[in-house]
Amino acid sequence: MKLNTVIAVLISMVMVCASCTGRKKEAETALRVGVSMPTKDLQRWSRDGADMKMLLEQSGYKVDLQYANNDIAAQAAQIENMLTKNCKVLVIAAIDGSALTEVLKTAKEKGVAVIAYDRLIMNSDAVRYYATFDNYKVGQFQASYLAKALNLDAAQEPVYLELFTGPTDDNNVNFFFSGAMDILQPYFEKGVLTVRSEQTGKAQAATPAWSTEEAQKRMENLISAYGYGPKGTVLHGILSSNDSVAQGITNALVAAGYTKDTFPVLTGQDCDITSVKNMIKGLQSMSVFKDTRTLAKKAVEMVDAVLKGTEPEINDTKTYDNGTGIIPAFLCEPVFATAENYKEVLIESGYYTEAQLNNE
């Protein structure tokens, strides 16, 4: 090898080593961000967690991502651990919005900012920002779908409905339920709509932990108490605040003999794969798509702003009071999804592949 070539090779080796060390140093000094998600059981949260991790890492942060298996104490312990491990910002989707006050006192003492993700965290002044969807609009989408599908404006006969929402410890439930009820209430008042079970309050319609099994049990109880069935007592529609609940309702209705031709109008939210497949089969009528990629992107912008001392984009400064004052929020836009538009909304947008939604 000529001397010049040897020197050139040596120089490039030194440069490669230097850039390796540089990158290693960068990784060592990268700020750590904690991401605390409620559970992996529900598809949306695994996806939220994965999207957050990817985007935060792309922005140069180290990520401590934890799922708490819907266990409130486990979530608090995981958050405590993130604080011990020196996370500089915490992004938290709370299981119970009112159960983190104690652990977040430590965050506040350490100067660690908290971003409430999807669900508002109550009674903590460590919460700096809130990234979510327009939850009131989600409820409005569901109820206006019911109103249209059941032709409530022109109904001559009484229309029968049952109501299902999520657990009362999820602050979003207040918005989903009131968004829907604000549309349905006038029809109840006019006598157009009737809930035979009279379980019309938020607590009566609640589903603990958004559990599919709990929703199925409650629907089965309603079926046996009122004799609902394709050949029995008529049931025209069911308001369900999300897909995990809708899936339980679908299971109970199918077991009671309902088919796609007799199925009551049933709403949902999240566009879980199981529910989209049910929509395609005619065993759920609609869902609300909340693109986790959009929400994760907003939350990462908030993390960036906190760490760089800048202001993130906010579009709501009046709705979300967590008991310590209004939390500045960004509300992303939910999207209406049905068996008619799911290809465009879910497949063409790259959220799912066609194969994932295949019912075969």
Residues near ligand BGC (CB under 6 A) are 42, 44, 118-119, 166, 170, 172, 210, 242, 244, 269-270, 290
What number of residues does the chain have?
Answer: 360
What are the percentages of helix, strand and coil residues in the chain, rounded to 5? 45, 15, 40
Q: 63 vs 271, which CB is nearer to ligand BGC? A: 271
- Nearest to ligand BGC of 96, 118 (CB atom): 118
Shortest CB 154 distance to ligand BGC, Å: 32
* C-beta of 38 vs 192, nearer to ligand BGC: 38
Find the shortest distance in angstroms from Cβ 241 to ligand BGC. Answer: 8
- Our CB check for ligand BGC shows the closer of 88 and 119 to be 119
Q: Which residue has the tokens 């990784």?
A: 27
Question: And the tokens for 21?
Answer: 């060390």
The arrangement of strands across the sheet holding 237-240 comes to 193-194, 159-164, 237-240, 265-266
Per the listing, tokens 């906190």 go with 306
Three-class DSSP category at 7 = helix
Q: How far is the CB of 88 from ligand BGC (least distance, A)?
A: 26
List Cα–Cα distances, 248 to 57, 251, 273, 278, in angstroms: 36, 5, 14, 12
Query: Closest distance between ligand BGC and the C-beta of residue 280, in Å?
Result: 20
Residue nearest to ligand BGC (CB): 242
Using alpha carbons, list the distances in angstroms from residue 119 to 102, 157, 317.
18, 39, 16
Q: Which is nearer to ligand BGC, 61 or 129 (CB)?
A: 129
Q: How far is the CB of 136 from ligand BGC (least distance, A)?
A: 12
Tell me how far, at minimum, the Cβ of 45 lies from ligand BGC, in Å: 6
SS3 label, residue 87: coil
Nearer to ligand BGC by C-beta: 172 or 250? Answer: 172
Question: 160 or 289: whose CB is closer to ligand BGC?
Answer: 289
> In what order do the strands lie in the sheet containing 89-92?
62-67, 32-37, 89-92, 113-117, 127-133, 329-332
Question: Which of 333, 353, 339, 263 is closest to 293 using CA atoms?
Answer: 333
Lookup: tokens for 304? 């960036």
CA 147 to chain centre: 24
